[in-house]
Structure 1
Amino acid sequence: MLLMEKVAMLTRQNETFALAMIIESKGSTPSHVGKMIVYRDGTIEGTVGGGLAEHYIIEESVKAIQKGQSKIVEYKLNKHAKDGIQMNCGGTLRVFIEVYTSRPELVLAGAGHLGYALAKLADFLEYPYCVVDDRIGYCTKERFPNASNLFVNEDIGEAMLEANLNEKSYVVIVTKDRDEIALKMALQFPIAYVGMVASKRKVINIFEKLKSEGVTQEQLEQVHSPIGLGIGSETTEEIAISIIGEIIKLSREKKPIKVKQLNR
């Protein structure tokens, strides 16, 4: 597989990685052209010439991934030059490190009006999403033609389980009346975000119920409820915008929820 084909595949798979590419080479260098995929753990595919320069480029690529920011780095491959690195080539190398960050993967627990509005925004932003519900008539391909998956089960907890939640999952709970079950299931996984639409009283009641079932206070503190940014939203569409806005903001911070496994 060609390297750029692999880049396209990783992008389709919504992976996070960096592509380091030589954009300028002067004098004697290990390579005048080259591309290299760098993963979060520092493993690579391809090369920009090898040696100490490549080692430094890998380090800078990992840092760029962690910050989520692309950058240009330059090296003097001359150990005798000011700011040079311990190489004898004598040339200079400029490399563009382009960071590809994964997009939030939305799990819309609830296929009603708000879930539908959230799906429309996800379509616009090209965010991957799946829909979970316990109602066959609502969770359909006709209503959500661009959803990656639809999970329907009379037991919404089972439907949530089928969604294979992971560290990329941003769970938005907007069910008709199954918030408690959906939330308990979501908190079993190391998800990136969980938010729930509910009144203050309802949140208190749900939290007390879940604590009696073994959910810890630390876990519940990760739940965003009230959900969304405080922008004075009132309509369904405005609420959806506030929720997506909150997800965009938090996805940039990259702080996954830390939870322990619960017994089902």
Structure 2
Amino acid sequence: MPNPSTNSWPNDPLLHALQWTQDGHPAAVATVIGTWGSSPRPVGSVMTICGDGRVEGSVSGGCVEADVISRAREIMNGSPPAVLTYGVSNETAWGVGLACGGRLDVFVQAIGADGLAKGAFPAADLEAIAAALRDRRPVRLARKLDGAHQTLVDESNPNSLPDDILQALIEPPRSACARVTDAAGAEWFLQTIAPPPRLLLIGAVHIAQALAPMARLAGFTTAVIDPRTGLATPERFPGQTLLTDWPDDALDNAHIDPTTAVVTLTHDAKLDDPALARALVSPAFYVGALGSRATQCSRLKRLAEIGVPDDALNRLRGPVGLAIGAIGAEEIALSIMADIVATRRGARLSLEPGW
């Protein structure tokens, strides 16, 4: 499957930072490396700051961003990288702190071509991360919190790290992020950077026009698949990846993984059924099909007749979407996206009979 266009990818702050540096702007990366108590953003959340004032991502619910941006400007101007700690501020209404309580640690680095000479986040690492995301490969990033060492690690690139840190990186991670101390007492932040979830839509129809941008806002990459070139046009799907292969061929080449969702929308059995037959036996975490309950019964019978096993048929979400009484393309798209998110997050409502 071709790499998606920039616009069909979610707003990844690191990809924005790469573009800024390529355009010649100074930039900085702020990463949540620790939270205690209530926190609106999880460990590993990233905010990137451009020297011209642009900001992408966030590290809190808005409580501390202004201060992080101010400190990031100092670091872009030559100050060393820093771990910023925020807690509850009761001193004044304008005090910098977390209104929701708890504590938050944020690691801020400038981005620089000369990298670790000034404790900067090497621009080359941003390029490598972008390449891995395009190839749908996870990478592990190790950063020493004094800025003295940073490296990307995968099976083919162990690099020069303390043995205990290297071992922590190459072992199957218990969580996506970890703050660890090496044998010499130095603190490190280890982070898995994984490709975003992906939604493959079969059918360049009205619902897809609403669902594709909605999925991108929810953090998914998207592709719309339809051999009907009169429907699959850039004018109808601006900024979206469009594939005009037959859906079964497109899915054969898509390298479907457990972070992929597939939804058929065409109401045309010759397009939907071959795609569903591929998707249902794939590792996709979600497979759904638009249509009424009567259509779903007929569809399941056809799929069984072409050899799709019962356990795979039981995976099919149909009628697709949560039963919110949706009317019109936009509301139906909302119900589908809600069901995809609920399934991905393991929410009980995605499993309730009748939904």
Structure 1 length-normalised TM:
0.71
**2:327 aligned to which of 219, 226, 234:** 234
Q: Pick from 149, 165, 169: which aligns with 1:34?
A: 149
1:58 equivalent in alignment to 2:170: yes
Q: Which residue of 2 aligns with 1:74?
A: 181
In structure 1, C-alpha distance between the alignment counterparts of 2:274 and 2:164, rounded to whole Å: 53
What aligned pairs does 1:75-154 form with structure 2 within 5 A after superposition? 75=182, 77=183, 91-125=184-218, 127-153=220-246
8 Å Cα contact 2:197-2:219 kept in structure 1: no
Matched, 1:218 2:311: yes
Report the CA distance between 1:43 and its aligned residue. Answer: 5.2
Deviations 1:59-115 (A, max 9, x none): 3xx314xx4x3231124x2xxxxxxxxxxxxx3021112232221222110111111
- CA drift at 1:18: 2.3
Residue 239 of structure 1, CA deviation: 1.9
Is the 2:228–2:244 contact (alpha carbons within 8 Å) kept by the matching residues of 1?
Answer: no
Superposition deviation, residue 123 in structure 1: 4.0
126-135 vs 105-114, greater mean Cα deviation: 126-135
Verify the 8 A CA contact 1:20 1:35 in the aligned structure 2: yes
Aligned partner of 1:166: which letter?
I
Trace 1:157-236 onto structure 2 (pairs within 5 A): 157-158=248-249, 160-161=251-252, 164-167=254-257, 168-178=259-269, 179-236=272-329
Counterpart amino acid of 2:256?
N
In the TM superposition, residue 125 of structure 1 has moved relative to its aligned partner by 4.0
Q: 1:74 to 1:249 in 2, by over 3 A?
A: farther
Give how far 1:50 is off: 3.0
Query: CA offset at residue 13 of structure 1?
Result: 3.6
1:118 and 1:94 mapped to 2: Cα distance?
43
Using the alignment, how far apart are the partners of 2:315 and 2:133 within structure 1?
29
Q: Which moved more, 1:115-124 or 1:3-12?
A: 3-12
- Deviation, structure 1 residue 45: 4.4
Aligned equivalent of 2:351: none
Q: Does 1:2 align with 2:124?
A: yes
Q: Which letter does structure 1 place at the counterpart of 2:151? A: M
The counterpart of 2:138, out of the listed 7, 16, 32, is 16
Identity %: 28
Q: CA deviation at 1:222?
A: 1.4
Q: Give runs of ≥4 in structure 1 deviating > 6 Å.
A: none
Q: Against the structure 1 CA distance between its residues 231 and 92, is the aligned structure 2 distance closer, same or farther, given a 3 Å change threshold?
A: farther
Q: Deviations over 1:116-146 (max 9, x none)?
A: 1112213434532221224221111221232
SS at match of 1:71: strand
List per-residue Cα deviations over 1:229-256 (Å, max 9, x = no partner): 3444333212212222232343456xxx
Residues 176 and 134 from structure 1, CA distance in 2 versus in 1: closer, same or farther, beyond 3 angstroms?
farther
Structure 1 residue 159: Cα displacement: 5.3
Q: Partners of 1:238 and 1:176 in 2: how far apart? A: 18
Residues 136 and 152, structure 1, Cα contact 8 Å, conserved in 2 = no
RMSD: 2.8
Unaligned runs of 5+ in 1: 25-31, 78-90, 254-264
Q: In 2, Cα distance between the equivalents of 1:233 and 1:73? A: 48
What secondary structure does 1:15 align onto?
coil
1:194 maps to a residue whose letter is: V
Write the distance in 2 (CA, Å) between the matches of 1:247 and 1:38.
Answer: 31
Task: Name the counterpart of 2:60.
Answer: none
CA contact (8 A) 1:128 1:148 kept: no
- Contact 2:267–2:290 (8 Å) recurs in 1: no
> How far, CA to CA, are the matches of 2:135 and 2:216 in structure 1?
17
> Closer, same or farther in 2 for the Cα pair 1:150/1:53, shift >3 Å?
closer
Q: What are the superposed Cα offsets for residues 200-219 of structure 1, whole Å, 9 maximum, x if unpaired?
A: 11111111122122111011
Superposed displacement of residue 157, structure 1: 4.1
1:213 partner letter: I
- Partner deviation per Cα, 1:140-173 (whole Å, 9 max, x = no partner): 12212322232255xx545554x53521432111
